[in-house]
Amino acid sequence: MDFIVAATLKAIKHLYNTDITAGDINLQETRKEFDGQVTLVTFPFTRFSKKSPEQTGNEVGAYLQNELSEVAGFNVIKGFLNICFADDYWLTQLYSEILPDDFAVFKPNGQKVMVEYSSPNTNKPLHLGHVRNNLLGFSVAEILAAAGYEVIKTNLVNDRGIHICKSMLAWQKWGDGETPELSGMKGDHLAGKYYVLFDKEYKLQIEALKAAGQTEDEAKKNAPLIKEAQQMLQQWEAGDAEVKKLWQTMNTWVYTGFAETYKKLGVSFDKFYYESDTYILGKDIIEEGLEKDIFFRKEDNSVWIDLTADGLDEKLVLRSDGTSVYMTQDLGTAQLKYNDFHMDKSLYVVGNEQDYHFKVLFLILKKLGKTWAQGLFHLSYGMVDLPSGKMKSREGTVVDADDLMAEMEQTAKEQALAKGKIDAFSEDEKLHLYHIIGMGALKYFLLKVDPKKRLLFDPNESVELEGHTGPFIQYTHARIKSVLKKAGALEKSKATGYQKLAGEERDLIVALTRFPEIIKLAAEAYSPALIANYIYELAKNYNKFYHENPILQAEDESSKHFKLLLSFAAGKVISKGMKLLGIEVPERM
RNA sequence: GGUCCCAUAGCUCAGCUGGAUAGAGCAACAGAUUUCUAAUCUGUAGGUCAUAGGUUCGAAUCCUAUUGGGAUCACCA
């Protein structure tokens, strides 16, 4: 639509002898109830036209129609100039923009972006909160790649620490040699089982100590189990062979489990970082900060930064015993990542509970003069809550990722069987269909909402498969494929006689032309929700067109071939758009 | 208490840098299948955009305050 902007600038210059910039021009989609496809808001022009909004609109409209062959007509309602483009213009858009293979393919922009997401703890299986994180991270990476970035997907695995020791200790005490092989339990679930068990026994000990007269805080510190876990962590850090061996064994179980979950989720990573490697990093940066007088040392030898001038607090960056805290590690890891890849941008897909941490992290790096810190961004998303409140792994009140995916597939299966349309499918095709529909419903459900909003998930209400959902869009795609299959080969030459568009056809082409712009917006906003909502609108447009316009029984050959090409284009954009969300689309369902 | 985020139909959500009578889906009700997939389509009903001020020709959108919800302010990660 750039040419309309350019022509409007000329019109304003010609009619009112005023120079304005493109930013002063307010173009929007024409609302359905009015004639036209693009609307120019004329209120801002009245300042220098010295005429009513209506009159200004009429003058600009007449000028545009006169100057541009693409403009077939216009109407003015109040301060809104609705511009109608010639059908010929939309046909050209379809044939020379949308249908070619390079539609919505962005050239490489020469920029490199890292997306860190998932970042699980290796003491328990993934839950619904992780699912949101994974889908968001993967989708944003896809969108950025589509927008021309070189993308590196990373996973910073939190594989050490007291929480891991809790699982290890519980297994050692009560596991009786249980393994994934012996129990048939997925490795991550097995580790999680002992994490929960630890917490249960720990709580019993706390209660016992409280009954013996200790305060809550004392009891928490003095419980034998927590002391043992802490001791184990020290042994781990000291490199104790037996502890390391157990750690490695259990982590391997967990990784095998995660790999399976990631595969089902359809997410992947280019590079793994392990906290067991990175937790000692960052001390160089502390030295650097001390030299630059950005950090200061307190009497007890701990190192701090004073951020009160920036409206934040004093923050500890190194413990008095010289060991790292979370911030120390993250400073070091940020530097490590940059050294490894020299990326222009780096996204951290992490929940909004860590907003403050990242604010501080980025600020410190900027204060240290790291120019690359300008490219750091915390992609913060809202928590997933249950009606009963927050999910807590150690209390077992979580919606497990594997269970949830299995339930979604089951729901998809029941629905598909009830519809009775897949009897002719092979068993493999059926299973694949249940998977992509179940996952499509789940992914769409989680991605269609603005990432920063918190999400309420009711496990008792199954995720919808009708209406504004993934399966609705998948269904639209399957329907398009079905028509195309029945029609045989697409022949563009046979469609050229078709010149006059039906309203639904024009609306559909208009919607299709917006795809590249939507990708760009989604990449700038890091928001899969924009893609999700766009594809939904597009699918609705198609379904309307489909209902009102017979395709295979069209009035003549050119009409039929045009409608087939239009269907093909819609199918292509739906499929590409869904791929950006990490959602597969079926050929039939 | 300080800081940050959120508040739109009964429910779940759109609403881009301010623009026309605030839009979808679900749930409710009424319709559409001799015809390309009814996981679809059409219609009815449902709103003081949390509240109060302010800026503007124009505010759900921007500013301020208030209310409600959430997060965070650890020598945990």
Q: Domain extents for chain A?
A: 2-85, 161-260
Residue nearest to nucleotide B13 (CA to C1'): A449
- The per-residue pLDDT for A302 is 93
| pLDDT of the residue at A285 | 92
> Six-digit token pair at A175?
């596991």
ipTM for the predicted complex: 0.95
* C-alpha span between A56 and A40 (Å, rounded): 11
Residue A113: CA atoms inside 13 Å, Cβ hemisphere, count?
29
Q: What is the pLDDT along chain A (589 residues), one digit of tens a residue?
A: 778 999 999 999 999 988 888 878 888 889 888 889 999 999 989 888 888 889 999 999 999 999 999 999 999 988 899 999 999 999 999 999 999 999 999 999 999 999 999 999 999 999 999 999 999 999 999 999 999 999 999 999 999 989 999 999 999 999 999 999 999 999 999 999 999 999 999 999 999 999 999 888 888 889 999 999 999 999 998 999 999 999 999 999 999 999 999 999 999 999 999 999 988 888 899 999 999 999 999 999 999 999 988 888 899 999 998 888 889 999 999 999 999 999 999 999 999 999 999 999 999 999 999 999 999 999 999 988 887 777 777 777 788 999 999 999 999 999 999 998 998 899 999 999 999 999 999 999 999 999 988 888 887 777 889 999 999 999 999 999 999 999 988 888 899 889 899 999 999 999 999 999 999 999 999 999 999 999 999 999 999 999 999 999 988 899 999 999 999 999 999 999 999 999 999 999 9
CA distances from A372 to A75, A363, A368, A486 (A): 51, 12, 11, 55
Residue nearest to nucleotide B41 (CA to C1'): A547
A550 touches strand B (CB under 7 A): yes
Residue A316 CB in 7 A reach of strand B: yes
Query: What top-level class would CATH report for the domain A2-85?
Result: alpha beta
Nearest nucleotide (CA of A457 to C1'): B12
| Pairing assessment for the beta strands A71-77 and A376-381 based on DSSP bridges | unpaired
Residue A436 pairs in a beta bridge with none
A5: Cβ under 7 Å from strand B? no
Helix (H/G/I), strand (E/B), else coil: A386: strand
pLDDT given for residue A34 in this prediction: 87
Protein-covered nucleotides of chain B (CB closer than 7 Å) are 2-7, 12-16, 19-21, 24-27, 35-42, 57-58, 70-77
Nearest to residue A518, comparing CAs of A569, A586, A580, A450? A580
